[in-house]
Structure 1
Amino acid sequence: MDYPKSVPSVGLVNGRFVDENPLVGTPGSLIPAVWGNSVTQEILSVISAAGMTPSEVDTGQLIKALQTILGRSSPMRSVITRLTASKVLTTDELGLVLIDASAGVNTVTLPAANAALGVRDVIVRRVDNSGNRLTVRAAGTDKIRFHTHLSASGYPFMVLMGSGDWWHLRSDEAGGWWPVSRFDSTVLGRISFESTRQVIPGGYAVLNGNLLVRGDWPWLWDFAQSSGALVTEAARAGNEGAWTSGDGATTFRLPDIRGEFLRVLDEARGVDVDRSAGSRQMDALESHNHFLPTSSGSANRPGPGIADGSWDVTRDVNAAPATGIVGTTYPNPLFFSSGELVGNIGTFSAETRPRNIAYPARIKLI
């Protein structure tokens, strides 16, 4: 494309068009038909390349066509959209979308992922740290294609949890928005320990056995059903580390592992047999004997002294006092109750436990 320099008598000055100047008698430049047609065709070629139909009344087609063509090579536009309330996004608002849901429940709906939209990117990012639910929803029957190992077509919506949580999504012109990247890509259902009581952003919750609505967390309910650690609500006692099917229709329950020690599932090794994932096991001591010295007693064991070999290890520890082999009457073994400190053994309690440190546990919900 260039000025019509090759057309004779066109009246260009320094290679450019000039206006007529009647004061000095200078004629204006001519615009030949061949040049006007070529300019028009150049513009129409750009519009056609974008898959658009030329329109005489639409004066914005060229910029739209350029945006479409550029979007194919770089789907992310340099646009920042700020939202404080629910909204259906327009194509011009796609870019970095900053959402503040501190005022209440918020739903942001994406444009239809069709051929008219083309291949476009959007980053949806939460800026508040309130507990208000923030939903990012696909339009109509479109789907967001995350956790496709649970549902091949994806899900109609997702949630942003915590300040700074974000997802980068790309449309596929065929009804789908595909995750390109996200703030936290930890796998769904993963349990982790934290050094803070705060629930960090990225889709985490406390493992507290809360009831959830299946319709609010469809991907998590699909995960629970495929986990191999799902029990009925009636069977929850003794299986607090498992998911439950809730009311059997509309709800389900998170595992609850607060205050518990964790053990690796046996999975056919034969060390801790007949255990199911999420099942609780009561505390226990390994079977053993105690050696009784021949002294006349100690601060931790009352006398009289028992001769070596005289203790009847088969006797019920709750039975009445018995007579040893040497004819000496001795008392029942001393019962160490909760809170008692015995020598260098330790403090006795309601459970057998090692020295330990407690950290908050979290589970990935999305």
Structure 2
Amino acid sequence: MDYPKSVPSVGLVDGRFVDENPVAGTPGSLIPAVWGNSVTQEILNVITGAGLAAAEADTGQLLRAIQSIVGNASPMRSVVTRLTASRALTDPELGLVLIDGGSSAVTVTLPPANAALGVRDVIVRRMDNSGNRLIVQASGSDRIRFHTHLSPSGYPFLVLMGGGDWWQLRSDAAGSWWPVGRFDNTPLGRPFFETTILLSPGGYGALNGTVMKRAEWPWLWDHAQLSGMLGTEAARAGNEGKWTSGDGAATFRGPEGRGEFLRVLDEGRGVDAARAMGSFQVGSTHSYAMGANGAGAVGAWWSDSLTSFGADTREEPQYVSGLYNGGPVFPAGTSYQRDAANALLLAFKSRPRNIAYPGRIKLI
């Protein structure tokens, strides 16, 4: 495209247009037909190249065509949208969406992921670190395609947890938003230790056996059902590390890990055989016998658990059924006497030296 330099026409100076000058008696430019048609065709090439049908009365087609072409090359626009309350996003607001839910719960609804929207990206980022629930909701029957190993169609919404948590989503023009990136991709349901009592952004909660609503955490409920370690509330005692089905209808419960040591499941090795995943195991109480008044030789028999004698071996820093951690606790004449020689039975628990950190679990 260029000025019509090669086209002889009244009023053109080196192909450039000029105004009429009545004083000098020079006429103004007359636009050559070839140039006018050329300009029109250049614009039509952009419109049709974007897949649009040219319409004479529509004066916004060139802008939409450029947006579509640029969007197909890079679906992210340089747009920043700031929100402090629930609302539905529009096409021009897609870009970096900064959401502050500090004053109340917020639901942000994405535009329909249809052919009119095309392939577009949006980054939704949480700015506040309050406990208010912040939902990013798909429109209508659209779905956000995350955790598709649990649900192939994805889920109708996600939650942003903690200040700085973000997801980048891309529409496919066919009813779905696909995650392109997110703040934290740690696998769902993974337990770990933290060095802060605050909940880090990225989708974490306390490993505290909390009861949750299935409707608010559908992906986590799906995870629990497929985990192989879903139990009932009635059978929770002794199986606190499992998920439970809650009230059986609207709720479920997460694993409890507070105050416990975590152990790798045996899975057929035979070192810690017959253990069920998520089950509780009592602490081991080791014992030995000494002669009367401590004068005899150390006895030859050992026990790794005194439950057969009626002792409660759950590790608690207090007297339990006459047993106290770390000392000679079964003097002669007690119900734990093991022979007729007034032998003393000494017992201890081998709890290793340790440091306590807060336990966390990935919730989304």
Q: TM-score range by the shorter chain?
A: 0.7 to 0.9
1:81 paired residue number: 81
Which string of whole-angstrom CA distances, capped at 9 and with x for unpartnered residues, describes residues 258-277 of structure 1? 00011111111111122111
TM-fit CA distance, 1:57: 3.3
1:326 paired residue number: none
CA distance change for structure 1 residues 308 and 43 in 2, over 3 Å: closer, same or farther? closer
TM-fit CA distance, 1:25: 1.2
2:351 paired residue number: 353
* Structure 1 residues 270-349: aligned runs within 5 Å: 270-286=270-286, 289-292=288-291, 304=293, 306-308=295-297, 320=333, 331=342, 333=344
TM-fit CA distance, 1:189: 0.7
Deviating beyond 4 angstroms after TM superposition, the runs of 4 or more aligned structure 1 residues are: 307-314, 316-319, 329-332
CA distance change for structure 1 residues 68 and 289 in 2, over 3 Å: closer, same or farther? same
Query: Does the 8 Å contact 1:209/1:256 carry over to 2?
Result: yes
Give the Cα–Cα distance (whole angstroms) in 2 for the partners of residues 306 and 248 of structure 1: 61
Give the Cα–Cα distance (whole angstroms) in 2 for the partners of residues 100 and 305 of structure 1: 70
1:103 paired residue number: 103
1:71 paired residue number: 71
Give the Cα–Cα distance (whole angstroms) in 2 for the partners of residues 321 and 220 of structure 1: 51
CA distance change for structure 1 residues 283 and 81 in 2, over 3 Å: closer, same or farther? same
RMSD: 2.4
TM-fit CA distance, 1:311: 9.3
Give the Cα–Cα distance (whole angstroms) in 1 for the partners of residues 334 and 220 of structure 2: 59
Give the Cα–Cα distance (whole angstroms) in 1 for the partners of residues 159 and 213 of structure 2: 14
TM-fit CA distance, 1:7: 1.8
1:363 paired residue number: 361
Letter in 2 for 1:103: S
Which string of whole-angstrom CA distances, capped at 9 and with x for unpartnered residues, describes residues 162-214 of structure 1? 00000111111111111111111111111111111111000000011111111
SS at match of 1:8: coil
* Structure 1 residues 182-331: aligned runs within 5 Å: 182-286=182-286, 289-292=288-291, 304=293, 306-308=295-297, 320=333, 331=342
Give the Cα–Cα distance (whole angstroms) in 2 for the partners of residues 281 and 258 of structure 1: 14
Letter in 2 for 1:234: A
Give the Cα–Cα distance (whole angstroms) in 2 for the partners of residues 48 and 307 of structure 1: 102
Letter in 2 for 1:131: G
Between stretches 193-202 and 27-36, larger displacement belongs to 27-36
* Structure 1 residues 25-44: aligned runs within 5 Å: 25-44=25-44
Give the Cα–Cα distance (whole angstroms) in 1 for the partners of residues 9 and 109 of structure 2: 59
Letter in 2 for 1:11: G
Between stretches 119-128 and 276-285, larger displacement belongs to 276-285
Give the Cα–Cα distance (whole angstroms) in 2 for the partners of residues 274 and 184 of structure 1: 35
Query: Does the 8 Å contact 1:4/1:10 carry over to 2?
Result: no
Give the Cα–Cα distance (whole angstroms) in 1 for the partners of residues 63 and 299 of structure 2: 101
Query: Normalising to structure 2: TM-score of the pair?
Result: 0.86
Give the Cα–Cα distance (whole angstroms) in 1 for the partners of residues 132 and 225 of structure 2: 27
Query: Does the 8 Å contact 2:241/2:280 carry over to 1?
Result: yes
Percent of pairs with identical residues = 67
TM-fit CA distance, 1:45: 1.6
SS at match of 2:208: coil
CA distance change for structure 1 residues 10 and 4 in 2, over 3 Å: closer, same or farther? farther
Between stretches 351-360 and 51-60, larger displacement belongs to 51-60
Query: Does the 8 Å contact 1:321/1:330 carry over to 2?
Result: no
CA distance change for structure 1 residues 28 and 119 in 2, over 3 Å: closer, same or farther? same
Query: Residue 179 in 1 paired to residue 194 in 2?
Result: no
- Unmatched runs of 5 consecutive residues or more in structure 1: 293-302, 323-328, 337-347
TM-fit CA distance, 1:289: 3.2
Letter in 2 for 1:213: K
Give the Cα–Cα distance (whole angstroms) in 2 for the partners of residues 231 and 3 of structure 1: 78
Query: Does the 8 Å contact 1:99/1:124 carry over to 2?
Result: yes
Query: Does the 8 Å contact 1:112/1:142 carry over to 2?
Result: yes
CA distance change for structure 1 residues 177 and 22 in 2, over 3 Å: closer, same or farther? same
Letter in 2 for 1:100: D
Give the Cα–Cα distance (whole angstroms) in 2 for the partners of residues 158 and 312 of structure 1: 59
SS at match of 1:65: helix
CA distance change for structure 1 residues 252 and 13 in 2, over 3 Å: closer, same or farther? same
Query: Normalising to structure 1: TM-score of the pair?
Result: 0.85
Between stretches 263-272 and 29-38, larger displacement belongs to 29-38
Query: Does the 8 Å contact 1:306/1:330 carry over to 2?
Result: no
SS at match of 1:107: strand
Letter in 1 for 2:355: I
1:130 paired residue number: 130
- Unmatched runs of 5 consecutive residues or more in structure 2: 304-308, 310-329
